[in-house]
Amino acid sequence: MLREVTAVRYLTPLRTGGSVPGIVEADDLGTYVVKFTGSAQGRKALVAEIVVGELARRLGLRFPELVRVHFDPEVAAHEPHQEVQDLLRASDGLNLGMDFLPGAKDFTPEVAEAFTVDPLEAGKIVWLDALTVNVDRTVHSSNLMIWPTFGIQEPKLWLIDHGAALVFHHRWDGSAPDKAYDFRHHALGAYGPDTAAADAELAPLVTEAMLREVVALVPDAWLADEPGFGGPDEVREAYVAYLAARARSSAAWLPTDFPSRAQLAAADARRAADTEKGRPAWLKRVPDLHGKPGAEQDWSVHLG
């Protein structure tokens, strides 16, 4: 099981994502980024966090420790924002925490320009995302952090935020395990990911036994009400069956075609130009009523 801790102090909400996680201190003296069961994404996002994060760890990728966090909304009684208070009150009980990485930096396009990623490591991360159908690790939203590891001077890539993965579990509609997805805009596509070498190394590791070990970490309560299933154990077996079948069929979905940074930049420029062409003239230029007579203001900056 994942370690269990109790939140003793709520520090601050994080508004960079729609789920509004919060930083908390716990009774083990640790600091964690907590994702709450009461968020709009619901419990399936937390299931995805556990399954993909723990898969990443077993495949040798860097991922912060996950813990089960018991949360009492009273520890956040000082939080001034009503919408955050509503979220916290709806999350009384068991939630999911990720070890906070102090001083870590987001892997943004600007940071990526000066950062080196080994093609095999890039390939392994892309392979994991393709296996788990993670559609939220793009050049615009990498969900990667740069952080030094213990005893190592140079910063390393750490994976975070997998709540948008496992898209198949939102409907359980029988989508084919060998279905391909478009990973051309993956955050690491410009590093020449060696997905073939990653597939050769990782696919044999994703066994049914390993998958059962991973899904066993998901609390029963987060699987209990899944329509069409007879209980948490049946849901766990559905995850095992799908992911095992997907690993076996990797030849059908293995991403291999990645544009360069220059190609991505050119595509973004074309998209921006097409968007600008479609704007009504009155949205592009309107009189600046607060400036000098006759002055105009470019509203596309604010509305783009």
Q: Domain limits of the chain?
A: 3-253, 261-303
Average pLDDT over residues 249-271: 83
Average pLDDT over residues 102-115: 89
Written as one letter, the residue type at 159 is: L
pTM of the model: 0.86
pLDDT of residue 302: 28
Q: Find tokens 């990498």 and name the residue.
A: 142
Q: What is the mean pLDDT of the chain?
A: 88
Output phi, psi for 22, to 5 deg. Answer: -135, 150
Q: How far apart (Å, rounded) are the C-alpha atoms in residues 185 and 206?
A: 25
pLDDT of residue 288: 44
Taking residue 233's Cβ as centre, other Cβ atoms within 10 Å add up to 13
Output phi, psi for 255, to 5 deg. Answer: -70, 135
pLDDT of residue 150: 63
- Show Cβ contacts of residue 298 under 8 Å, excluding neighbours closer than 6 positions: 284, 285
Of 211, 240, 184, residue with least CA distance to 59: 211
Say how many residues make up the chain.
304
pLDDT of residue 140: 86
Average pLDDT over residues 240-249: 97
Radius of gyration from C-alpha coordinates of the chain: 22
User: DSSP 3-state assignment of 141?
Assistant: coil
Q: How far apart (Å, rounded) are the C-alpha atoms in residues 48 and 242?
A: 14
- For 158-169, the pLDDT digits (tens) are 999 999 999 999
Q: Chain centroid to CA 252: how far?
A: 24
Average pLDDT over residues 59-67: 98
Sheet strands (E) in the chain? 3-13, 22-26, 31-35, 66-71, 93-99, 105-106, 144-148, 155-159, 285-287, 296-298
Q: Residue 39 pLDDT > 60, yes or no? A: yes
- Give the pLDDT band (50/70/90) at residue 153: low
Residue % of the chain over a pLDDT of 90: 71
- Show Cβ contacts of residue 240 under 8 Å, excluding neighbours closer than 6 positions: 208, 211, 212, 215
pLDDT of residue 38: 95
Q: How far apart (Å, rounded) are the C-alpha atoms in residues 245 and 175?
A: 12
- Show Cβ contacts of residue 303 under 8 Å, excluding neighbours closer than 6 positions: 283
- Give the pLDDT band (50/70/90) at residue 35: very high
Q: Residue 149 pLDDT > 70, yes or no? A: no
